[in-house]
């Protein structure tokens, strides 16, 4: 399912799910929910976590929601903090996504998502690559041609190492005969930071989720 839906539609959908009991055992009325967002402010996980918190309040199943952002290592830092500080707490939630899976595989941190309880899959999305408007490259074909000439000269910006956009960049390279190890990938601790770097021309091309 494409999740380019507007934020208000997303909120109404979550509120309806919560009110209908489709989000089981998340909270009882008057509960104080603690939401871990294992990324810095401004990115997709941040927006999703805050939208979910707002929906829980709107549906009346939570009296308050507090948010904590802890970015870095594809979410592994926030994951470890969440696991160690909230073990056994039924009112503690964490948002995550495929970026974390790739990061856990490449980084092998001490805490794994297998130690947590999955509740619901809320969104899926397309990955996209973008260029700043003033880039000398106007298409992916242009980027790929430069990549083949000089792999290191193309800086790919996105989430932490092992993220979906990192994997996609490596797959693009492999498909045109460039070793994945030669990809010049620049990781950021959140979508907000990555966007600023793309707009500022600090990277050649940026990747992220479409929504």
DSSP 21-68: T-STTS--TT-EEEEEE-S-TTSHHHHHHHHHHHHHHHTTS-SEEEEE
Three-state DSSP class for 77?
helix
Q: Is the dihedral of CA 156, 206, 186, 113 positive or negative?
A: negative
- Measured CA to CA in angstroms, residue 67 lies from 49, 70, 94, 192 at distances of 8, 10, 10, 17
Residue among 45, 64, 53 at smallest CA distance from 18: 53
Rounded distance, CA 60 to CA 56, Å?
6
* Mean pLDDT score of the chain: 86
In tens, the pLDDT along 105-152 reads: 878 888 998 999 999 888 887 889 999 999 999 999 999 999 999 999
Residues forming a β-bridge with 34: 66, 92
Q: Are strands 205-209 and 127-130 parallel, antiparallel or unpaired?
A: antiparallel
pLDDT band (50, 70, 90) for residue 17 = low
Residue 188, number of CB atoms within 10 A of its CB: 25
Sign of the alpha-carbon torsion through 201, 202, 205, 207: negative
pLDDT at 158 over 50: yes
Q: What integer is the mean pLDDT of 62-87?
A: 94
Cα–Cα separations (whole angstroms), residue 177 to 71, 134, 185? 34, 28, 17
pLDDT at 5 over 60: no
Q: Is the pLDDT of residue 19 over 90?
A: no
Mean pLDDT across 28-57: 89
């Amino acid at each position: 399912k494409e999740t380019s839906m507007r934020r208000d539609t997303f909120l109404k959908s979550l509120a309806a799910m919560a009110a209908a009991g489709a989000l089981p055992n998340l909270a009882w009325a008057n509960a104080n929910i603690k939401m871990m967002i294992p990324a810095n402010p401004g990115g997709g996980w941040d927006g999703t976590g805050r939208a979910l918190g707002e929906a829980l309040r709107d549906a009346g199943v939570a009296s308050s929601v507090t948010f904590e952002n802890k970015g870095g290592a594809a979410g592994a830092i926030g994951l470890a903090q969440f696991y160690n500080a909230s073990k056994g707490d039924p009112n503690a939630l964490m948002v995550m996504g495929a970026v974390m899976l790739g990061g856990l595989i490449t980084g092998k941190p001490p805490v794994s998502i297998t130690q947590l309880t999955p509740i619901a899959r809320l969104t899926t999305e397309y990955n996209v690559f973008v260029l700043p408007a003033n880039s000398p490259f106007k298409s992916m074909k242009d980027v790929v041609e430069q990549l083949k000439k000089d792999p290191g000269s193309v800086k790919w910006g996105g989430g932490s190492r092992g993220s979906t956009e990192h994997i996609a960049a490596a797959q693009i390279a492999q498909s045109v005969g460039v070793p994945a190890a030669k990809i010049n990938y620049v990781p950021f601790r959140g979508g907000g930071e990555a966007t600023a770097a793309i707009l500022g021309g600090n990277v050649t091309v940026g990747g992220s989720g479409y929504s």
